[in-house]
Each structure stands twice: as C-alpha cells, then as structure tokens.
Amino acid sequence: MKGIMSSLSTPPRKRVGPTSWVRGGGLSNLIFLLPTLVVFGVFSWYPIGRAVVMSLQQTNLVTAAQWVGLDNFRHVLTDPLLLTALRNTGYFALLALIFGYPIPLVLAVLMSEVRRARGLYSALAYLPVVVPPVVAVLLWKFFYDASPTGVFNTVLGWFGIGPYPWLQNESTAMPSLVLEATWAAAGGTVIIYLAALTAIPPELYDAASVDGASIWKKVWHVTLPQLRGVLLLTLILQLIGTSQVFLEPYLFTGGGPSNSTMTILLLIYNYAFGQSLGGDFGAATALSVMLAVVLGVLSAGYFRLTRSWAAS
Amino acid sequence: MTTSVEKPDTAADAVQPRMPLRPAGAEPAAASATRQPEVTGAIVSSADRRRPLVRRCSASLNTVVLVVLLILGLGPLLWLAKAAVTPTQDTLRLPMSLWPHGLAWSNLSTAWTTMDLGRSLVNTVCIAAGAWFCQIVVATTGGYALSVLRPRYARIVTGAVLSTLLVPSVVLLVPLYLTILNPPGVGHSLINSFWAVWLPAGANAFNVLLVKRFFDNLPREIFEAAEVDGAGPYRLFASIVLPMSRPILGVVSVFAIIAAWKDYLWPMLVLPDPAKQPLSVRLPVLAGSVELGTLLAALMISTIAPVLLFLVVQRLFLRGAGLGGALKG
C-alpha cells in the first residue's frame, strides 16, 4: 500500500494497471468523491447545463422538445410584464438598500462599543433571522391589517399617524414588503459587521486617540475605512439576494395590487408553475438564464474582491 | 500550489470575516479586544470614557440600542406569544392590549388538532434531518477527498464545485424540477418523496469548500503519523479527520438544519401531497381557512423549535452568521 500521502510524495506512475490503481488509493479516492460527484452531477451540473438547453427549446413535457432558437428570449423580452417586473425588482432592491444598508451598520457600530452583555445584544439582533420566513410573512401580514385596528395602525395611531393601507395600496405595498424583508434579514448583516468591527486592529484607535482624534473622527477616519471591504461585500450580497426576491411578494400580495409587486422571480415562477400562464418552461428558463448572467457578473465581482483581500 | 488550486481556498477563506480585513498578526490583539472589555483600542477610548459627558452619552446610547433591539427583535415574538393565547375577537379589536377578556389556551390545542400540525412538524423534522445528513455526508467525504487524498483530478472537481457558487439558485428551479420528475437512473418520479428535498440540499458548494478549507488547515503531520502506523484512508477518515472536524461540522449542521426549516419554494414544488408537506408549506395554505387565533397559535408553535435551537447553540449560530454571508442568494 503506497499510502494516502503518495499523491504528494511520489512522482506520477507511468503505467497504471487496475491493480496498482486500487493499491495506489485510486479506488478509495473515487469512493470518497462519489457522493460529491453524484449529488453535484445530478442536482447541480446537469440541471445547469439543461437550463441553457431548455432556454432554446419548446417543451410541454408531453411531446418531444423542439428547438426554437431564440424564440423564448424574444417572447420574454417582448412580454409587457417583464418591464414591470424589472422595475419592481429594481425598486425593491433600491428600497432594501435605503432601509437595510445603513441601519445594520449604525446598529453594529453602536453594539461594538457595548462593554457588558454584548452577547445579549447580538442574540436580540439575530432573533428575527431564526424566525421561519413563512411565519414572519404571515405574522406581518396581520400586522399590516389596513383597518384602524390593525397592529401597526394602532401603534401609529398613538402618535396620531395613519392609518395606512399598507399592502392594499399600489404605492405602499412594495415599501411594506421591503420593511418586513429588512426586519427579517438585518440581524445577519449586523453580525457580519460586528465580526468585521472586532477585527479592526485596536492600535489604529489608540494611535488616533494619541493624535487627539475625537470619537466622531475615529468613526469617520478609522472605522468606516476599515469596513470598506465588508461594506462592498454586503452590498453585492444584498443585490444578489434582493434581485431574487420571491417569498415576500408571493405570500404577501401575490404580485398585486395590479402587479405593483410583481418581481422577476415571481414572473419566472408564473411562467413555469402559475395557475393561468403555467407550463411555459422555455420562457421560464430563458428569463432565469438572463437573470443568471447579470447575477453571475455580480458574483464574479464578489469573488474577485474576496480573493484580492485574501491575497493582500 | 498553483493559482488554480488557490482560488477556491482563498475564496472560501475570505468569506471568514476576519480574513479579508486584517493584516497578518493582528488577530491575537483583535481577539483579546473582544474578551477583555476594559481594554483600550475601541472607538471610545479609556481617556474618552473618563469624561463625564461621554460616559453619560454612551450609557444612554447603550440603553437606546438595547430598547430598540428589544422592541424589534423580541417585540414581535412576544406579541405572537400573547396573541397565540388570546381570543380571536380581542386580537382583532384591540391588538395591542393585554388579555382584555382573558386567555384562550384552546387556540393552541385547536391549532394542533384541526391543522394537523403534528404531522407537518414531523415532516419538517424529517426533511431537516435528511437534508442535514446529506449535506454532512457530501461535505465531509468530498472535503476529505479534495483536501487530504487529493487525486490528480481533484483540481478539476474543486473548480467544478466552486463554479456552482456563481450560478444563482433561480437558474436551477425549472431544470431541477424536471430532473426530480424524471431522475436519471431511478426510473420513477421523486415528486412527493423526501429524497427530492434531501438530495439537492446535498449539492451545497459552500459546505464542501468550508470543510475542505478546514481540512487544509489540519496539520499534515497527523496524517503522516497515522499512515506510518498503518491507518488506511478509511481509518484515517473515521478515527482522525472526522473527530477533529467537530467545530466546522457544528457550523455546517446549524446552517443545514435552519436552511431546511426555512425553505419554502422548493418543498412546495416537489411535495404537492399535503401529508408530506412541512410546516412552512402547510401554514400559508391553511392560513385563509382557520380562525385568526388558531393561525397565530400555529405560527407560534412553528417558531418555538428554531428559536429554542438558536438559544441553545447561540455561539454556533453567530459564528456561522459571521462567515455565512456567502450563503445568501
């Protein structure tokens, strides 16, 4: 038995017969890789390839698939709903940035200065993240009750504000969705920021203090520049996440009122599995592939970033 | 090592929050800053702290943050706990008052029996357990083969696994569904079978790379010593590598269980049979057909398990969340 480290220590064998292959660990290598190869092969690599093929085909699962060239793409690009979905998804992403980007940062910076029971703070911030998303949406759906006795309208009523129609109105539906999504996700971002904040070398603050920098100056000239990398990272992650938003529009509003919360993923779902449209797998995959190309560029940017930090 | 191998390593590496941000050697100091609260080197230095105005401001700011976190983090859950045992009419008319007409414990039992929550809960647990098992098996065996055994084609496999991280899950939705309808080499559809959720969950590149990265950092001398003692690859895996990898497996496990508990769209597509559906899929279906008090009780019951799990293994969760940003999307 050559041993498992042989791949490192011995030069490549010239002629590899089946026996020496097994003896050299070739068989056990393959046995250990088998779960990865099978599961990724069947449930990841094969479907990815199939998505590209299907976007060029017309399938109804009954008759054989037909090659239709770029027809699916043409069909999707001329669908008037696409523009609506694009605009809504962009609006969702923008609102999610406005609500969800600065708040976790401010919270994390304040929390990092807490001296006692910081664990309690982190736990409280993270608690909404562990609530199952479906439960959160159903709960908030009730909170958003448009009548004056709705939960939010009652609370706002104490301050003489409202009542608001929340999900019932075209202009307030999307912000309501984003508010819930932000509540559900902010805790995770806070923890990422906290981890980054504890990693800032304390010498930098000491040096700034020695130079007589005020607290505000330290935040501006030490904390924020040191967080630059992780801020960009969460920005990209948030864009990737929000452009695939599905659960909130699907369960809160089903895309309504009058398509004001129809998002790209909801449109894909409707093409493939929707009640009325349904079964148009070609259009669904064509739109998925287009979305994937855009997100792939973002992901590639994310990987370049993480790699260059690790290298520096 | 050449760059083609380093790419996956450094990418998984950089996800860990400390790595991208600090110059080498800064870690011990940063770590001690978290452990010794009185140490200087924070935004508010000890000198700042001696000024009464700063001290008062920072104390009141801490309180404000705590109150905000209590309202936002705990508030909705406390309200849910209250509403779960409140008569429906009270919740509808006076949602913010505390039990104006007494308690309705019957909400909980009604929810449990009429909504058949027991079965959905068992399904949820089964789905989470199977998805966890698949992910652990794939991540440990794959990570071990790619990091320790390292056959010559390991680079290609690592690259292929890594590349799936670039593909958003939405692309897989339709083709994966069709694969489940007609899986290669099985002969019958996996629709309404838990395997339809378990197996795709196993194809998680992030897990494989995380575990591989962890194995890469285990000291090679241990493997060499075990080999000298006559341990084969199976023995090395079972008696040395697995026991040593407990910390990373804890993180992967928490991710796996929580992700399975949260998942909605995929189980909804592949488990159309109500008897097979987990809580997350059942709840929206039943939401419209039961009384509000019953629904809120059901929501509360569905939340208890993940929240308890979180409170018990909080440290693992927060560590996981710190390096888990890349899981989203």
CATH number at residue A212: 1.10.3720.10
Banded pLDDT at A16 (limits 50, 70, 90): low
Give the mean model confidence (pLDDT) for residues B127-144.
Answer: 94
Q: Are A61 and B186 in contact (CB under 8 A)?
A: no
A48 to B167: CB separation less than 8 angstroms, yes or no: yes
Lowest-confidence pick of A4-8, A13-17, A160-164, B38-42: A4-8
Same domain for A136 and A11? no
Query: Over the stretch A111-145, which tens digit does the pLDDT of each residue have?
Result: 888 877 778 888 898 899 989 999 999 999 989 98
Same domain, A23 and A138: no
Contact B141/A311, CB-based, under 8 Å?
Answer: no
Contact indicator for B156, B92 with CB cutoff of 8 Å: no
Note the Cα A270 to chain centre separation in Å: 21
| Interface touch B295/A138, C-beta < 8 Å | yes
d(CA B234, CA B227): 11
Share above pLDDT 90 across residues of chain B, in percent, rounded to a whole number: 26
Picking from B134, B150, B165, B164, the residue whose alpha carbon sits closest to that of residue B252 is B134
pLDDT for position A140: 92
Cα(A204)–Cα(B193) distance, integer angstroms = 56
Same domain, A120 and A41: no
Task: Count the neighbouring beta carbons within 10 Å of the beta carbon of residue A133.
Answer: 21
CA distances from B45 to A14, A112, A122, B185 (A): 65, 13, 22, 65
For chain A, give the number of residues.
312
A43 and A151 share one domain: no
Strand partners, A57: A67
> Tens of pLDDT along B34-58?
444 444 557 777 777 778 888 888 8
Model confidence at B327, pLDDT cuts 50, 70, 90, reads: very low
**Residues A165 and A273 grouped into a single domain:** yes
| H/E stretch holding B320 | helix B314-323
Same domain, A174 and A31: no
- Most confident by average pLDDT, A52-61, A100-109, A145-154, A299-308: A100-109
Residues A111 and A256 in one domain: yes
Q: Which among B176, B199, B233 has the least Cβ separation from residue A4?
A: B233
By three-state DSSP, how is residue B301 classified?
A: helix
Please measure the distance between the N-terminal and C-terminal CA atoms of chain A and give it in whole angstroms: 41
A118 and A260 within one domain: yes
pLDDT at A310: 55
SS (H, E, C) B216-228: HCCCHHHHHHHHH
Residues of A in contact with B206 (CB under 8 A): none
In a domain, A61, yes or no: no
* CB atoms B96 and A191 under 8 Å: no
Smallest Cβ–Cβ distance between A229 and the set B21, B29, B170 belongs to B21
Query: Pick from B39, B31, B24, B23: which is nearest to A198 by CA?
Result: B31
Q: Residue B284: which of B53, B115, B138, B153 has the closest Cα? A: B115
Helices A281-311, A71-78: axis angle to 10 degrees equals: 90
Distance CA B325, CA B54 (A): 34
Question: Which burial class, exposed, middle or buried, applies to B324 when counting CB atoms under 10 A from its CB (0-12, 13-18, 19+)?
Answer: buried
Total domains, chain A: 2
Give the single-character DSSP code of A13: P
Which residues in B lie closer than 8 A to residue A47 (C-beta atoms)? 172, 175-176, 179
The SS3 assignment for A131 reads coil
**pLDDT tops 90 at residue A57:** no
The whole model's pTM is what?
A: 0.82
Phi, psi of A16 (to 5 degrees): -110, 105
The helix/strand/coil state of B150 is coil
Mean pLDDT of A63-80: 82
**DSSP, res A67:** E
Supply angle C-alpha A48, A52, A58, rounded to 5. 125
Cα nearest neighbour of A295 on chain B: B168
In a domain, A252, yes or no: yes
A301 to chain B, any CB pair closer than 8 A? The answer is no
Nearest chain A residue to B204, by CA: A40
Structural contact between residues A272 and A280, judged by C-beta atoms closer than 8 angstroms: yes
Q: What is the DSSP letter of A12?
A: P
Contacts of A85 (CB under 8 A, 6+ apart): A262, A263, A264, A266, A267
A286/A292 Cα distance (integer angstroms): 10
In a shared domain, residues A98 and A233: yes
Question: Looking at the predicted structure, is the pLDDT value of residue B325 above 60?
Answer: no
Give the SS3 label for residue B123.
helix
**Architecture of the B117-287 domain:** Orthogonal Bundle (1.10)
CB B72 within 8 A of CB A128: yes
Is the same domain home to A179 and A107? yes
**A1 falls within a domain:** no
Domain of residue A270, residue span: 71-311
Is A195 in Cβ contact with B323 (below 8 Å)?
yes
SS3 for A58?
strand
Q: Are residues A130 and A48 in the same domain?
A: no
Quote the CA–CA distance of B278 and B260 in Å, as a whole number: 10
In whole angstroms, how large is the CA radius of gyration of chain B? 25
Across B222-233, average pLDDT: 85
Does the residue A277 lie in any domain? yes
**pLDDT tens digit string along B235-251?**
888 888 888 888 888 88
DSSP H or E stretch at residue A289? helix A281-311
Residues A39 and A149 in one domain: no
Q: In this structure, are residues A137 and A146 in contact, taking their beta carbons and an 8 Å threshold?
A: no
Q: Is residue A60 part of a domain?
A: no
Domain boundaries, chain B: 117-287
pLDDT winner (highest mean) among A77-81, B55-59, B127-131: B127-131
pLDDT at B300: 92
Residue B4 pLDDT more than 50? no
